[in-house]
Amino acid sequence: VIHARESKERGFHPDAVFLLTSIICLVSYFSLSGIRFLFLMAVPVSLFAALGIERAARLLFSFLRGIARFPKPASTAMVALVAIIFLIGPVKEGYATAQSYMPSVSDEWVDTLSHINASSKPDAIINSWWDFGH
C-alpha cells in the first residue's frame, strides 16, 4: 500500500485496491463472530476515504483552474473553503458530544468496589480479566 502511494505514477493501482478491499471483506466476515474485529477496518476505510477526498479535491481544483479560469491561489482558497464547510458540522458535533458527556458510576460498581475494599488485605493486588467480545 505504501509503495503504491509513494510511486511516481499517480494512476490506478489495482493491487492496492485489491489488498484493501480484501481486508475490508475479511474483517466484515470476522465481525460476524465478534464485533471487536471492526476496528481492523479503520485503516483500509480511512485510506479509501483519503483517496476519495484527494481525488474530489483534484477534480474541483481542475474544474476551477480549467473551465472557470480561476487563478491558482483563488482555486486553492476555494478548495480549502469547501473542505472547511464540510468539516464545520462534524467538528461542532464532536465538541457538543464532548461537552455533554457525563461519566457515570452505577450502584453495582460502588457495591462491588466497597466489598473488595472491605474483604481484601491493604496490600492486595487485584487482577481482572475482561472476557472476549466485551
pLDDT at 8: 46
Residue 129 inside a domain? The answer is: no
- Rounded CA-CA distance 68/63 in Å is 6
Residue 69 inside a domain? The answer is: yes
Residue 39 inside a domain? The answer is: yes
Model's pTM, two decimal places? 0.59
Q: What is the domain count for the chain? A: 1
Of 116, 50, 110, the closest CA to residue 83 belongs to 50
For the chain, give the longest Cα–Cα distance. Answer: 78
Residue 88 inside a domain? The answer is: yes
Residue 131 inside a domain? The answer is: no
Residue 85 inside a domain? The answer is: yes
Kindly give the confidence (pLDDT) of every residue in the chain, 134 residues in length, as a single tens digit, with 9 standing for 90 and above.
555 555 545 677 888 889 999 999 999 999 888 888 888 899 999 999 998 898 888 898 888 888 888 888 888 898 899 999 999 999 999 999 999 998 888 999 899 999 999 999 989 998 877 766 55
Which residue range forms the structural domain that includes residue 41? 2-100
Summarize pLDDT for 16-53 with one digit per residue, the tens.
889 999 999 999 999 888 888 888 899 999 999 998 89
Residue 124 inside a domain? The answer is: no
Which cell numbers hold the place of 52?
476519495
Residue 92 inside a domain? The answer is: yes
